């Protein structure tokens, strides 16, 4: 089964508040098997717009990725960061078909 990913780009406007969210979101990721593949590493803004903090989190399935977002655990963490960041995020299904030759 294809995996699925949260792909998020974040500009933190209030680090003090946002810190509380970062400390709290682990419970949801632990419960739904979320694994950080990208966690704010160095990046090159080569095209278009970018944000300062880039994150990719892997889940075993699309279902897990969506359920994690809507879980009470994650929503509770999310409530802690209200107004402290501008975020673009999608949940996207992975691809496990053949690669171009």
Partner 1 sequence: MIWPPEYRIRPARETELPALQTIEESAGEVWGAALGRSAIPFGVMPLAALDLCRVEGTLWVAADGDDRPVGFLAAGDLDGALFIHELNVAPQHQRRGLGAALLRAAIDHARWRFHPAVALTTDRYISFNAPFYARHGFVLLRPEDLSPGLKAKLASEAERGHDPARRVAMAKRL
Rule CB under 8 A: is residue 39 a binding residue for partner 1? Answer: yes
Q: What is the CB neighbour count within 10 angstroms for residue 20? A: 14
Rule CB under 8 A: is residue 78 a binding residue for partner 1? Answer: no
Number of residues engaging partner 1 in binding (CB under 8 A): 9
Minimum CB–partner distance for residue 100 and partner 1 (Å): 30
Rule CB under 8 A: is residue 40 a binding residue for partner 1? Answer: yes
Closer residue to partner 1, CB minimum distance, 2 or 89? 89
Rule CB under 8 A: is residue 37 a binding residue for partner 1? Answer: no
State the virtual CA torsion across 16, 18, 21, 26 in degrees, nearest 10.
Answer: -100
Q: Which residues bind partner 1 (CB under 8 A)?
A: 12, 15, 18-19, 22-23, 26, 39-40
């Amino acid at each position: 089964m294809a995996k699925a990913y949260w792909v998020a780009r974040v500009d933190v406007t209030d680090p003090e508040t946002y810190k509380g969210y970062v400390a709290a979101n682990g419970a949801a990721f632990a419960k739904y098997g979320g694994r950080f593949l990208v966690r704010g590493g160095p990046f090159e803004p080569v095209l278009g717009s970018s944000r300062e903090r880039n994150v990719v989190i892997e889940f075993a399935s699309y279902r897990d990725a969506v359920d994690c977002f809507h879980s009470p655990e994650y929503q509770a963490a999310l409530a802690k960061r209200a107004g402290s960041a501008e975020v673009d995020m999608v949940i996207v299904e992975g691809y496990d078909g053949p690669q171009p030759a």
